[in-house]
Structure 1
Amino acid sequence: MKSLLVLLALTLTTSAFARDNNRDGRMGTNDGGTIIRIEVGNDRDTDSRATMKRMIQLERAVRELQNRVYDLEDDARPQTREIKVYTCETTSDFGEGFLGAPALTELEARSNAKKACMQRRSSMFCENVARCETRTEIQKI
């Protein structure tokens, strides 16, 4: 009876360990990714192949850890930024007001105001840009 319990415990322990370790020494993480599992070696080991293998495995693990840290830092950065938006208005010689489309530069906003006027009037009546306004908007990155 005791031998059956020992055998059962050994089987459960081995199968649990096998689930955590893939053939290349990787372990699963809570977020669904995998990481390299580092085995602590013998410092007195004189086999240069084993030492080199441990160094390469350690370098890979450090690189993966570094990549995970970079991913976390990218997620922590703000996903928005402030931008200035210009809107200009022009008046025709007949006193009509035309509002141009918003733009990221004042020059483009002035041009948009003149275009709005020229859609209804001749270009010779749309030379005066009456005023331009600036506002700050939040833009997603």
Structure 2
Amino acid sequence: MNHVLETIKNRRSVRKYQDKQIKDEELEKILESAIYAPTGHYDQPWYFTIIQDKDLIDQINEGAKEVMSRMDVEWIAQMGRVENLHIFHRAPTVIIVSARKDATTPMADCSAAVQNMLLAAESMDIGSCWIGFAKFHFQ
């Protein structure tokens, strides 16, 4: 089978991580795959913020859960109140993907970049998960 198709079929969301950081070379390859994603009008509107500081990751987790706990959508509010929930599943590396506000199609562009990162991670046997809850911390 084609390696790309095999990687696509094998990719899963991982929610249990080792304490050790991924290697710098692996992180660079994952980020490189992101910038090769297609974008509307060749905007390349993305920013990739790499966080490997456990305290900062925990701070973003707590900030997101605080906002979530006050949401009108009950299931999100309930998740925000779960004491032992960690939205990043205690991953040692988090990549926050954001975009310029003036981009033509920022959501689609960043989504394509994230998908490339997930597939690159899978191709290197690195577990990953697309987490949407982090956005609440940055509102």
**TM-score, scaled relative to structure 2:** 0.22
**TM-score, scaled relative to structure 1:** 0.22
- Larger helix share, 1 or 2: 2
The higher relative CO (CA closer than 8 Å, separation ≥ 6) is in 2
